Amino acid sequence: MSRRLILIVVLVLAVGGGGLAWYLLSRPKLPDGFAAGNGRLEATQVYVAAKYPGRIKEVLLNEGDNVEAGQVVARMDVEPLEAQLREAQAEIVAAQDSRNVALAQTDVKKADYTFAQKQYQRSRGLVTKGAVSEQEAEVDQARMLATKAELVGSQASATQTLSKIAAAQATAERLKAEIADAVLVSPIKARVETRLAEPGEVLASGGRVYSLTDLSDVYMYVFLPERVTGKVPVGSEARIVLDAAPEYPIIAYVSFVSPMAQFTPKTVETQEERHDLTFRVKLQIDKERLKAFGPLVKTGIPGVGYVRFDPAASWPKDLQTKPVPANLWQATGAGGPK
């Protein structure tokens, strides 16, 4: 590279840097009643995980795919559970058969007891007439008591079969619930941020399959100095200006003000300002507004958050909102050319 070309490159960089510095320094200062801080667009992260340990059979989505609440996103292998369910159902049938047998035996014992009871009553009536001896009446009484005991035992056995049926049914219901839980669904409308597992992998209880980005809960954290934070009530109107679209301020509101002071993170403010204590303030974007722009949401984009702590102050012209075009930037998601 020639010396002349190097000088030209240096001159261009100097002019460009000077122009950028002039632009930044010449930007209008915020009027009274406003405060600003740097931040990044963030969204709540939700994990889809296996409730029970097992092997993954299907993983249906890729990173970047959008999902609806209740949509099936993965399936676990349920063959062992289905085999256990068939076993439990067979135990239910066997227990019901045992109950039918016990009920039939109870009917027989009841008939025997009824007959023995009547026989004893007849014997006692004939003893007074001398037709039957006292000893024969006592034999009939013993037979009646024996058949009564057999009836009580048969009734207890029939009752026990109910417990066996209930236990087998409970086992079957538990296995059905586990099989249903083996179908993993998205709890919210979201976007797949990371695919954390693949088919064939064995997961422990609570093993994660996806991390999802909640497209209805998008916000930015900014750090404001202590002299300002005390004037910012929750619900204050705010604006978020993204570096990717500085001409389209986004309406937001203050949903949280930290009750604890801290030093400003190094990535947010200058070295001098880090000596001051600041408070973390959350700027929340309205959920209804997000419905129309969900596919355009990209977390991690840097920007500036503006807070109005004086309700009587008017928003500067460059922070007044305007309609956002649908093709502001390409929608985020998976897939290739059609």
First-to-final CA distance of the chain = 45
- What is the CA angle 225-228-233, rounded to 5? 120
Q: Is 216 helix (H, G, I), strand (E, B) or coil?
A: strand
pTM, entire model: 0.65
> Domains in the chain, start-ordered, CATH in brackets?
31-43+213-319 (2.40.30.170), 79-181 (1.20.120)
Place of tokens 């417990």: 163
* pLDDT tens digits, 16-71: 554 444 344 344 577 888 999 999 999 999 999 999 999 999 999 999 898 999 99
230-278 residue pLDDT tens: 888 899 999 999 888 888 888 899 999 988 877 655 555 455 555 467 8
Give pLDDT tens digits for 82-94.
Answer: 999 999 999 999 8
296 contacts 328 by C-beta, under 8 angstroms: yes
Name the nearest CA neighbour of 224 among 88, 38, 67, 90: 38
Place of tokens 């009027």: 31
Segment 124-133, tens digit of pLDDT: 777 777 676 7
Task: For residues 301 and 323, give the distance between their C-alpha atoms in angstroms, rounded to a whole number.
Answer: 20
Write the CA distances from 198 to 14, 59, 191, 208, integer angstroms: 51, 6, 18, 11
